[in-house]
Amino acid sequence: MLSAIGYRLSAKRMSHLTEPFQYEFFRHGILVATLVGALCGMVGVSIILRRMSYIGHGLSHSVFGGAVVSYLMQWNFYLGAGLWGFLSALLINATAKRRNIGGDAAIGIVTTASFALGVALISKTRKFSRNFEAALFGNILGVTRQDILVIAAVTAVVALAIFFGYKQLLFATFDPELARVYGVPTHWVDTGFALAATIVASMNVVGVTLIAAAIVIPPTTARLLTKSFGRLLILSTAIGAACGFFGMFLSYQYDIASGAAIVLLSAAVFAAVYAATTFKRAIAVRRHVVPAPEPRTARAPRPELASAMIGQDDHLFD
């Protein structure tokens, strides 16, 4: 009798988990959420290690202006918003080259002006369509096959770029000045292009108001768990993909915005990892086995070892 009741309860629980997969929109949504989570996790590693989090936040708002212009001019959304993001990255770079203008000021001026232009155009035309709402807050259940193909393509391109340029990325992240001497491109504008592509591909899923968190939280969480650059990339990608996958379930079950569900789950995972690592360190202190504190930046290699560094292991946080 008890076994029959237990079987029915487990069957009901399993049915509750598999029920959403009966709907095509949910299958599309969970695929896109997983891809976007993995993409943001990959790109976010370089962003946080190079202290570019503010650039990610700014470019996400800047791209919104391009999305509004593309809609009103009836251009292709991805082409218009992507081009706008790339131009914003170039404009920020050009503005920041002035000695009396800091990089953070240039980001604030360009990105907020672009976002304000989008808001002004919406207020002028008196139109606030579902496209604008999706760009601001995300609408993962409304993704089309074109959205899936674009996100999959951007994810594949970024993954291949990281795979083939892994050692150069490693070198440029931890010693940009010496890397520049050896011909490795180190300027943040290169990363800005990949970041803009990520934002454009993901904005309809997470929304520009939350996409910066989706880019920053997974790699920050992974950074608490490993000292290796390679493992950091893998962990960050896995955490982002998992948060996207399970965040979609939360969005469906509790009827909340997909972007908010993904970011809240990511924040909860970060809080849990932070608490666990803090507790582990406290236990180590009590046992008088204190691990060496992690430096905020890697030690700069000697110039004669720079070439060798590109071919060495990625364990940089000694």
Q: How confident is the model over 200-246, as pLDDT tens digits?
A: 667 767 777 778 888 899 999 999 999 888 899 999 999 999 999 99
CA atoms within 13 A on the CB side of 305: 7
What's residue 273's pLDDT? Answer: 95
pLDDT category of residue 305 using cuts at 50, 70 and 90: very low
User: What average pLDDT does range 81-87 have in this prediction?
Assistant: 80
What's residue 16's pLDDT? Answer: 62
In contact, 61 and 112? CB cutoff 8 Å: yes
Report whether pLDDT(308) > 50.
Answer: no
Global pTM reads: 0.77
C-alpha 84/C-alpha 196 separation (Å) is: 9
What's residue 243's pLDDT? Answer: 94
Longest Cα separation, the chain: 79
User: What average pLDDT does range 116-135 have in this prediction?
Assistant: 71
User: What average pLDDT does range 280-298 have in this prediction?
Assistant: 68
The token duo for 287 is: 């046992």
DSSP 129-183: -HHHHHHHH--GGG--HHHHHHHHHHHHHHHHHHHHTHHHHHHHHH-HHHHHHTT
Report whether pLDDT(318) > 70.
Answer: no
What's residue 1's pLDDT? Answer: 53
Tell me 101's DSSP state.
S
28 closest CA partner among 134, 149, 112, 122 = 149
What's residue 239's pLDDT? Answer: 96
C-alpha 159/C-alpha 156 separation (Å) is: 5
CATH superfamily of this structure's domain 23-288+296-310: ABC transporter involved in vitamin B12 uptake, BtuC (1.10.3470.10)
158 closest CA partner among 187, 195, 112, 133 = 195
* Cα torsion through 243, 245, 248, 253, rounded to 10: -100
Average pLDDT, the chain: 77
Report whether pLDDT(117) > 60.
Answer: yes
Report whether pLDDT(135) > 70.
Answer: no
In contact, 30 and 248? CB cutoff 8 Å: yes
Strand, helix or coil for residue 315: strand
Tell me 298's DSSP state.
P
Q: Give pLDDT tens digits for 42-59.
A: 988 888 887 777 777 777
Q: Where are the domains of the chain?
A: 23-288+296-310
In contact, 161 and 190? CB cutoff 8 Å: no
Report whether pLDDT(2) > 50.
Answer: no
151 closest CA partner among 201, 76, 193 = 201
- Which amino acid, 280? K
What's residue 291's pLDDT? Answer: 57
pLDDT category of residue 264 using cuts at 50, 70 and 90: very high
